[in-house]
Amino acid sequence: MWVRRAAIRPVPSFAQVPLRALSEVEEQLAEDDEEARQKLDEAFARFEQTQPAMADRIAQVLGGPLDETALALGYFLTLAVWLAFDNVFGEELAEVTPLALAGVEESLKLDEQLRMADPAEAVDSDDVIAMEQPDVLSFVHEHVDAALEANASEVDVDDVHEIYRIVLIEVLALSYAVRPPTNWGIQMTTEFTA
């Protein structure tokens, strides 16, 4: 059991996204034909419709002055993360409200401040999120690293960090928006009494 000091709430185990879901989304987004582009446009529209607060917040970041690498990475990762959650949880994924989104942003900011204030702290905030959603963060890191390596001389690292941060916020916000399974309370009671 990991005991840690953090301002980031734990993600329930039922809300974890498996690696296979991310691989499926990656394959889907890699297709480059007319049908794939149409599905991508439909996915963007569905994202904006089902997660308006999250879509607006992401649009603010992507609408800022970003270099091409960061912008492409931002579009890919934010859509891939949402698609993975949507594919795994479907109707069990509730809408992230503006208040919930603001709460996630504040908890991440507070967690970062806690860690900066303690020079002995060996774990960064993104490490905490990686413990909560290991496959999602592994996927994100893989793509961020690939983008930085492929465009090392041209990429603005600050822009990529801004994208990385909004993806972390999206991961947490969507994780907290997953509704528990109907038998979750019964299952938890059984585990504690056994």
Q: What percent of the chain has pLDDT over 70?
A: 90
H-helix segments, the chain = 19-30, 34-50, 52-62, 68-89, 98-117, 125-132, 134-150, 157-177, 184-193
At 193 the pLDDT is 46
pTM, to two decimals:
0.87
* Mean pLDDT on 93-120: 90
At 184 the pLDDT is 62
CA distance 176 to 70: 26
At 74 the pLDDT is 93
At 43 the pLDDT is 87
Domain ranges across the chain: 18-178
CA distance 15 to 133: 9
pLDDT of 1 over the 50 cut: no
138 or 122: which leads in pLDDT:
138
93 phi and psi angles, rounded to 5 deg: -95, 110
pLDDT of 2 over the 50 cut: no
* Mean pLDDT on 138-151: 91
Tens digits of residue pLDDT in 28-40:
888 777 877 788 7
At 189 the pLDDT is 45
* Mean pLDDT on 114-136: 83
* Mean pLDDT on 166-187: 87
pLDDT tier for residue 3 given thresholds of 50, 70 and 90: very low
At 32 the pLDDT is 75
pLDDT of 44 over the 90 cut: no
Most confident stretch, 27-41, 109-123, 136-150: 136-150
